[in-house]
Amino acid sequence: IQNALFGMGNPLLDISAVVDKDFLDKYGLKPNDQILAEEKHKALFDEIVKKSKVEYHAGGSTQNSVKIAQWMIQEPHKVATFFGCIGTDHFSEILKQKAAEAHVDAHYYEQSQEPTGTCAACITGDNRSLVANLAAANCYNKEKHLDVDSNWSLVEKARVYYIAGFFLTVSPESILKVAKHASDNNKIFGLNLSAPFISQFFKEPLMKVMPYVDIVFGNETEAATFAKEQGFETEDIAEIARRVQSLPKVNKNRQRIVVFTQGREDTVATVVKIFPVLDIDQNDIVDTNGAGDAFVGGFLSELVQEKPLEECIRAGHYAANVIIRRVGCTFPEKPDFH
């Protein structure tokens, strides 16, 4: 089971702080969103680190999910493999240390042109607005990393693959190579819609990889945006899930599974079923940053062990419920999931 789960994405250091509405307005941020940093956000990073209660956590959507999967599994270590690009700086050392502490088998492509990527998590109440400055993460190089025999052999060892849609902005050719490998070998490839901007502005690479995708993850906003961009002409989440399920697929041996979470509302999954989430008192919600990543991580932890869909979703709900009680995508020493 070692290296059975493979993830590839943008390794980022999360810089999170509680901010007010004025801060969001100043930088033109929505309370609950994920965007890529632009020139106008440069000052935001300088300002957020000066906040009184700023916290630094290892982040990056895919990396969060594989860490949570590893945490749920506990033993053996290094069930999860992770690839991504970092710099050669203090932040990269933190990311390496945190991956090691989480017992994830991280193989970073290290370069010195760009500093390690960061993500400002601007917390207001139970909303989080994420602004990612990819920097080094954007420098992932297929030829210099993924294609190297020692690295590709780790890809071949895996049974389950998961990549957040965010990586489509970085290396769609790397995603396609992994997705085709999974499809050709009847393995499981999962992709997350990740953020509305992916469906809007990275439609072409997204739809290029879709025929190889066995499991599509997303939340209600991302599902609605995807449907709109694809001209589905429906806002019904179960109907969108059905439509995504029936998009063209290369490997006919596996029917595509679509899983849409809706925060505190029920999770919708195909074969279309509704799965209630765990109740949580509003006061127990510390920070919803990482909840979606945690859901995927819990889901993958059971999937790697070849458990049925119901169990995967139950584990996803459990992991998300743990994470929203804590700052950032962090977790206690051991899970209490049976």
233: left (phi over 0), alpha (psi -120 to 50) or beta: left
Q: Strand 5-8's sheet: what is its strand order?
A: 105-110, 80-86, 5-8, 160-164, 188-192, 215-219, 257-262, 265-269, 273-275
Q: Give the residue among 125, 120, 118, 132 at the shortest CA–CA distance from 20.
A: 125
Write down the catalytic residue from 25, 281, 293, 336: 293
Catalytic annotation present for 33? no
Sign for the CA dihedral angle at 148, 109, 297, 32 comes to negative
Beta strands 265-269; 273-275: pairing state: antiparallel
Question: Nearest-5° angle of CA 151, CA 153, CA 155?
Answer: 80
Helix runs in the chain, H state only: 21-26, 42-48, 61-73, 90-101, 149-157, 172-184, 196-201, 203-209, 220-229, 237-245, 291-303, 309-323
CB 62 within 8 A of CB 106: no
Rg (CA), the chain: 18
- 304 exposed, middle or buried (CB, 10 Å; 0-12, 13-18, 19+)? buried
Q: Which of 337, 335, 332 is nearest to 307 (CA)?
A: 337
Query: Do residues 122 and 29 touch, judged by C-beta distance below 8 A?
Result: yes
Relative to beta strand 188-192, strand 215-219 is: parallel
The β-bridge relationship of strands 127-133 and 118-124 is: antiparallel
The catalytic residues are: 293
